[in-house]
Each structure stands twice: as structure tokens, then as C-alpha cells.
């Protein structure tokens, strides 16, 4: 079996030190938002090239609290992509804002900057692009548009820890960058966690209040916030893993390069990035109209795969009241029907990559009729992807 992800090995690398840290945390009783959280915030801000990092309880909290800190209000509109995890739009709904979807670039699957200006209205307050699959969005035109039109730009960088665009870390391109530390991420903790990075001191200060019930000191609440604090155990895991992140990302890039070579002559679309991008390959996503048949075939060959994401946001039932009737984003819809995420994790061996490539090649060597019968058996025959890359 070739797993889709290998969360366990990322903890093997820090296990003795993490076990000692957990024992110390439990012995002292300082289990929430203490010295380890503060140390991780300082280290992560420096890593991202930002002045501040504010640790929170999840990537979804990072998005929602950032929107609240920017005073996004009911009725405001925010431009984003329909091809991403639900939390991107869910955070907008949580503050009463309306997600306004713009179709993706058919080559990169990222939010298409060329389509954004036409979607602006007098109610538009900001742009919320996603660095999808660990690759940077084409942020330059979006940053310029935001400056020209008096909008904010917040990056959903939940899948892109360490990625760069023109040498600059993602997360520091706009007013704020939001990260998730779900265990399957490139930098994952041992439960849930998130962070917002920013260069703005006032924004960082308000985020710190909002994550702790709007308090400036114990029992003194200046606004209504929520409980979005990070635990010391989560911070300990992140503090220990952060120095390893660049090495892990380099291993992911090596795996992606092997896939690029091994799949080059096959009738499927491989990932493409914008110019100047240094991706970190949270996911390696190929596209084929025969996606379901290929997934079933790979499952039978012991290769786990994932689907990111099979139903675009504008078609999600939970967003029916937020999306105009009949709205269609054909590039996102076409991608959602054809994407397949292949195994991708640090430590994946050359032999494992070769086995995946061989299995994909064997699928396409079959007669078309055989491939169609595999599709009829359905993607449910494939083992579920481990590691939870989507959250």
C-alpha cells in the first residue's frame, strides 16, 4: 500500500522532544496560550517575513477572526475562488459577508486575476485569494488592484506554508495571511491550530483580543470575541517542527519533480504554476476526464488517492442562498470533475513514486472499454485518503 500522506512520520522526527515538552506542560499546568505559544508566534512571524503572528485554534478561526478584525460586516462582498476547501467561504458567512466567486485560471486552477475587476461592485471590501495545493496564486495583479480600488487583500495560505512568489513568502503579500496547522498540512500540529501573520500592529492586537473573548486582561472584555486560543501542546509541536519545514518542503519538491518526469508522456494534465512561484506541493493534483476510473484502478493497485475538491463552492448546498441562481464557473467545474490528488509526503521514496507512475501508465495502456468498466465500479473502490489534507 502506498499511502496518500504520512502524518505519523512528521511526529517521529520530534517525538522525544515533544514527549518531554508535553510532560513539562502538564507538570506546570500552563496548558493554554503561554510561553510556548508566544515563542512559536515569534518564530513563525520571522519565518514568513511578517512582523507579527497570532496563533489561534484553527485555520478557520484564522480566517474568521481576520475578517472580524478588518470590520467586515453583513452585506459586504468579498472576492474569492470557487475551487477550494469550504472553510474559505464559511468564514465569510460567519461574519455575514457574501462570497463573490470568480472563476479559476484553467492552467493553474488558481483564482484568475484577469476576471476579478469585472466582479467588483460598490459592496466589495476585499479580496480573499487561496494559494491552492501549496502553489502561490498570481498575487501581483491582485495586490495592485486592491491598492488601486482601496480594498484589502487577505491570503488564505492554509495549504502553502513556506511557498514563495518572486522570493517573498506567501502570507506576507497582503494585509494578512491565514494558515492552518491541521495535522496533514506541510506544517501540522497534533490536533487543530492556525495562525494569522501580518505587518500591521493594530490588526495583530485586535486579533489577540478576539481570540480570547475580546479581552485585554482577565475579566475585562472590550468587545465580543470567541474562544480561539491555541494550546501549549499544539504550540510545542509546531515550535519543534518549524525548523524542519524547509527540508520537508524540499523533499516534496523532489517528489513533484519525479512525478513530472514519470507522468510526462501520459494523457493527463500535470500541475502548473504561475511565473516566479516556488510551490511547496501540499498536494500533487493531476487532471483527467477518466478521473474516477483512474482512481478505482489505483486503489486496486494499492495506491491511495484524494479528491481536492470534487464539488466547487458555488454548487455546495450550504451556499445556495449566497450564490446567484444559475451561477456557473466552467473552469472550476471542469477541474472539480477531473482532479485527482496523488500520494505526496516528505520521505516518499523514488521507488514509491515510480510505482505510482507505473500504475498510472498501466491504466492508460488498457483499452478504452476496460477503463470505462473501471469507472463504472466507482471511486468508492479506492481506499480513503489518509492525513486529512483538506481541512
User: What CATH number does the domain containing 221 carry?
Assistant: 3.40.640.10
Same domain, yes or no: 255 and 352: yes
Q: What is the pLDDT of residues 342-361, one digit of tens each?
A: 999 999 999 999 999 999 99
Cα four-point dihedral sign 332, 336, 338, 343: positive
Same domain, yes or no: 180 and 231: yes
DSSP assignment letter at 231 = B
Same domain, yes or no: 235 and 340: no
Question: Does residue 384 surpass a pLDDT of 50?
Answer: no
Grid cell of 3 as nine digits? 499511502
Domains contained in the chain, number: 2
Q: What is the pLDDT of residues 207-265, one digit of tens each?
A: 999 999 999 999 999 999 999 999 999 999 999 999 999 999 999 999 999 999 999 99
Tell me how far apart the alpha carbons of residues 220 and 109 are, in angstroms, rounded to a whole number.
46
Is the residue at 391 inside a domain? no
DSSP assignment letter at 323 = S
Same domain, yes or no: 364 and 326: yes
Tell me how far apart the alpha carbons of residues 195 and 53 are, in angstroms, rounded to a whole number.
6
Same domain, yes or no: 262 and 219: no
Is the residue at 198 inside a domain? yes
Q: What integer is the mean pLDDT of 158-162? A: 98
**Closest CA relative to residue 89, chosen from 329, 331, 322:** 322
Choice between 382 and 323, residue whose per-residue pLDDT is larger: 323
Give 141's pLDDT tier (boundaries 50, 70, 90): very high
Give the rounded distance of the alpha carbon of 98 from its chain centre: 21
Is the residue at 345 inside a domain? yes
Same domain, yes or no: 112 and 169: yes
Cα four-point dihedral sign 364, 333, 306, 132: positive
Tell me how far apart the alpha carbons of residues 303 and 4 are, in angstroms, rounded to a whole number.
7
Same domain, yes or no: 261 and 210: no
Is the residue at 146 inside a domain? yes
Same domain, yes or no: 344 and 307: yes
Q: What percent of the chain has a predicted confidence (pLDDT) above 70?
A: 95
Q: How many CA atoms, within 13 angstroms, populate the side-chain half-sphere of residue 284?
A: 27
The CATH number of the domain holding residue 342 is 3.90.1150.10
Q: What is the pLDDT of residues 272-330, one digit of tens each?
A: 999 999 999 999 999 999 999 999 999 999 999 999 999 999 999 999 999 999 999 99
Same domain, yes or no: 208 and 258: no
Q: What pTM was estimated for this model as a whole? A: 0.95
Question: Does residue 382 surpass a pLDDT of 60?
Answer: no
Q: Phi first, then psi: what are they for 128, rounded to 5°?
A: -130, 75
The boundaries of the domain holding residue 308 are: 245-381
Placement of cell 517525538 in the chain: 15
Domain boundary among 196, 217, 243: 243
Question: Does residue 391 surpass a pLDDT of 70?
Answer: no
Cα four-point dihedral sign 27, 29, 31, 34: negative
Is the residue at 388 inside a domain? no
Amino acid at each position: 500500500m502506498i499511502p496518500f500522506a504520512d502524518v505519523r512520520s512528521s511526529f517521529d522526527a520530534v517525538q522525544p522532544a515533544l514527549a518531554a515538552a508535553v510532560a513539562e506542560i502538564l507538570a506546570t499546568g500552563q496548558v493554554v496560550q503561554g510561553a510556548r505559544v508566544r515563542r512559536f508566534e515569534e518564530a513563525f512571524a520571522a519565518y514568513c517575513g511578517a512582523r507579527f503572528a497570532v496563533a489561534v485554534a484553527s485555520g478557520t478561526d484564522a480566517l474568521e477572526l481576520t475578517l472580524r478584525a478588518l470590520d467586515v460586516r453583513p452585506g459586504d462582498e468579498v472576492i474569492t475562488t470557487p475551487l477550494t476547501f469550504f472553510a474559505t467561504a464559511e468564514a465569510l458567512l460567519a461574519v455575514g459577508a457574501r462570497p463573490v466567486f470568480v472563476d479559476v485560471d484553467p492552467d493553474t486552477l488558481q483564482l484568475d486575476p484577469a476576471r476579478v475587476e469585472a466582479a467588483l461592485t460598490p459592496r466589495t471590501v476585499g479580496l480573499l485569494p487561496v494559494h491552492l495545493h501549496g502553489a502561490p496564486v498570481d498575487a501581483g495583479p491582485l495586490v495592485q488592484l486592491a491598492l488601486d480600488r482601496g480594498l484589502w487583500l487577505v491570503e488564505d495560505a492554509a495549504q502553502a506554508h513556506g511557498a514563495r512568489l518572486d522570493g517573498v513568502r506567501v502570507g506576507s503579500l497582503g494585509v494578512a495571511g491565514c494558515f492552518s496547522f491541521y495535522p496533514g498540512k506541510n506544517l501540522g500540529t497534533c490536533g487543530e491550530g492556525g495562525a494569522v501573520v501580518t505587518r500591521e500592529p493594530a490588526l495583530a492586537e485586535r486579533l489577540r483580543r478576539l481570540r480570547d473573548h475580546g479581552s485585554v486582561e482577565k475579566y475585562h472584555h472590550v468587545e465580543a470575541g470567541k474562544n480561539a486560543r491555541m494550546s501549549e501542546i499544539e504550540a510545542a509541536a509546531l515550535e519543534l517542527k518549524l525548523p524542519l519545514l524547509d527540508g520537508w518542503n524540499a523533499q516534496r519538491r523532489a517528489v513533484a519533480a519525479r512525478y513530472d518526469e514519470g507522468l510526462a508522456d501520459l494523457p493527463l494534465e500535470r500541475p502548473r504554476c504561475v511565473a516566479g512561484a516556488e510551490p511547496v506541493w501540499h498536494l500533487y493534483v493531476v487532471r483527467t476526464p477518466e478521473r474516477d476510473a483512474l482512481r478505482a484502478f489505483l486503489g486496486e493497485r494499492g495506491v491511495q488517492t484524494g479528491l481536492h475538491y470534487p464539488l466547487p463552492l458555488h454548487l455546495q448546498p450550504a451556499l445556495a442562498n449566497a450564490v446567484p441562481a444559475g451561477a456557473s464557473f466552467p473552469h472550476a467545474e471542469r477541474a472539480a470533475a477531473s482532479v485527482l490528488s496523488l500520494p505526496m509526503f516528505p520521505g516518499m521514496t523514488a521507488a514509491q513514486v515510480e510505482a505510482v507512475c507505473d500504475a498510472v501508465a498501466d491504466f492508460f495502456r488498457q483499452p478504452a472499454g476496460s477503463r470505462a468498466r473501471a469507472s463504472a465500479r466507482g471511486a468508492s473502490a479506492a481506499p480513503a485518503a489518509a492525513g486529512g489534507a483538506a481541512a
